[in-house]
Chains A and B, each alone.
Chain A
Amino acid sequence: MKGWMRLALAGLVMWAASGIARADDLLKAKIGVLRLSSSAPVFIAQDKGYFRDAGLDVELKFFDAAQPIAVATTSGDVDFGITAFTAGLYNLASKGTLKVIGGMSREKAGYPLIGYFASNNAYASGLKTPKDLAGKRIAVTQVGSSFHYSIGLLADKYGFKLSDVKIVPLQSLSNAAAALKGETVDAALLPISTARTLMDSGGAKFLGWVGDETPWQLGAIFASPKTLTNAQMVTKLLAALVRADREYHDVILATIRDGVVPINETTKPLLEIIAKYTNLPVEQVVGNCAYVDPDGKLDVKNVDNQIKWLQGEGFVDKGFDANAIVAKDYVKAD
């Protein structure tokens, strides 16, 4: 009997030890991302094994819109979310269910991402530059979205009132593209990936890039408070991502000319990784590489500006600012 007990105990100890050893080996983490090139560093870190080098076993969960990623991070279905800031995300964060832990894509001059596009008729009747958008009917996906905020920034820059433009929320990019092509709106804000097919078929005219007019912090890495208690995991993840940010910046972004990345020996391997994860041909990837800070910095001042703007428009609950939703231990401010 004693022998059996001893054996069972030994077995138990061994099982526990192996469990600890495995946990020590690789920390499991789930990241929610979109299949967009604005999350390029995540794809690079995953494909080139940077997460594994840092001691993480990362599983990427793909979503088709920014909002569900924020919701999934809140509910604990994913440990980290990487996507654009939206009013919905701020409303979740204001209730303390999300914290921003790092920066991701940005609208920056010279890096095409979101553009202003005019319908053929509106272009013919004088809508030639982003400044002319004052007083027009503009299609966006949703109220309080990145597109809506971009129009708000444009209004501030050129000194027209946001109430002068008529915002038409159409819920999806395909609806907005259809409205633009069907001449039922004067203009639309669309990401380059959606706009390209429209431009190629002569359905719309290009007016300008948001990054050239009003640079701002588009995307971020965020986590739920539960994930943040695991400081080791967060630090490892951010370290792996910064390594990928740096590589993406130096190899891809530094070579960009007129918004396009040249395909050569150095850029090709990374472009192919991005193409693989975004399900796009390499020839299209070269034209929509979003800017990402090489050190993973976050433009906290701009985040605060976004919150104030959304609060002013009544899309986000009042009574909090960027400090309340940014995890200061991890974020490197600009």
Chain B
Amino acid sequence: MLDRATPETEAQPTDAPRPVEFRGAGFAPGGSRYSGWVALALVIAIWQLAGSAGWVNPLFLPAPSAIAVAIYKLATSGALWQHLSWSIMRIGSGWFIGTIAGVIVGFAIGLSTMARGVGITFISALFPIPKIALLPLLILWLGIGEEPKIATIALGVFFSTAISVYSGVDAVPRNLIRMAQSFNVPFHAIVRRVIWPGALPSILAGFRITASVALLLVVSAEMIGAQYGIGAFVLQAGNLMQTDQLLAGVVILSLFGLAVGKLINLLEARLLHWR
């Protein structure tokens, strides 16, 4: 140790400033406009090539062109809009109910000691239950109409929202709240003007997750006697081993996911313009 240390101490007295290159770059991933689409196009091109060259059995992995044909047929027959409208209704109302309940419970947990103790225990106990395991019970409780389908989605959305809301509330800097208190700002105004905007970024990040959860759950929700719906369509195609239609349904679901993602981007840009 000492042997190595001595040459360094000897070098120090030379006064010439050592040039140091700028080290502060990186850690700021920017959005490139095209790279994502180029990668996607490349994957689809290779997939199509594998399909048309006959490297893979079309039954095991239908080519993108076959999927496009299946979507086109679905669209021209009019069934696509019927499936979509039912699914959007279920996803929309399930997500809305789950989110409202989740925001209320999340704020209660974030603001009240009593609600925190009870709420976190219940959320931890109930969140990991697979909703699909509860389907027979949901059918017994709510029948096979729209209620159990919406309830399945709302339940899945509720827990994630509640968790992201209360962690958002927890993350609001305490000194901001203390400052408002020292200016004698009333409780409801602190909640509205300090805590709500402070928690909003993580609430919106939570929306991103819950929107995907709602899309995931629409397939299990539509296991319950649904005639129409993208989930029901995917299930039926799976049951009948129509793999091209199965993937067509999956593509529609993921396009739907992309659209919802864009919508949340817009929402973030509007609500979080102060960032």
* A158-204 contacts to B (CB < 8 Å): 168-172, 174-175, 177-179, 181-182, 184-185
* A137-157 contacts to B (CB < 8 Å): 139, 142-145
A300 to B238, CA, bound (A): 26
Q: How many A-B residue pairs have CB under 8 A?
A: 80
**Contact between B144 and A92 (Cβ–Cβ < 8 Å)?**
no
CB distance from B167 to the nearest CB of A (A): 35
CB distance from B73 to the nearest CB of A (A): 12
| B58-92 Cβ-contact flags toward A at 8 Å (1 or 0) | 01100000000000000000000000000000000
**Contact between A315 and B240 (Cβ–Cβ < 8 Å)?**
yes
Q: Is the CB of A87 closer than 8 A to any CB of chain B?
A: yes
Q: Is the CB of A70 closer than 8 A to any CB of chain B?
A: yes
CB distance from A312 to the nearest CB of B (A): 14
In terms of DSSP, what is the predominant structure of the interface of chain B?
loop
Q: Is the CB of B111 closer than 8 A to any CB of chain A?
A: no
Q: Which of A91, A145, A182 contacts B241 (CB 8 A)?
A: A91
* A91-137 contacts to B (CB < 8 Å): 91-92, 95, 97
- Give the chain A neighbours of B182 by CB distance below 8 A: none
Q: Which residue of A lies closest to B140 (CB)?
A: A182
A239 to B141, CA, bound (A): 51
Q: Decide yes or no: A71 and B223 within 8 Å by CB, A143-B236, A182-B143 being known contacts.
A: no
A315 to B236, CA, bound (A): 9
Give the B interface residue count (CB, 8 A): 23
Q: Is the CB of A316 closer than 8 A to any CB of chain B?
A: yes
CB distance from A91 to the nearest CB of B (A): 4
CB distance from A166 to the nearest CB of B (A): 9
Q: Show the binding face of A for B, using Cβ within 8 Å.
A: 67, 70-71, 74-75, 86-89, 91-92, 95, 97, 139, 142-145, 168-172, 174-175, 177-179, 181-182, 184-185, 315-316
Q: A67-B241, A91-B241, A168-B225 are in contact. List 11 more A-B contacts (CB 8 A).
A: A88-B239, A92-B59, A97-B57, A144-B239, A169-B232, A174-B136, A175-B223, A178-B135, A178-B140, A185-B225, A316-B240
Q: Show the binding face of B for A, using Cβ within 8 Å.
A: 57, 59-60, 135-137, 139-141, 143-145, 223-226, 232, 235-236, 239-242
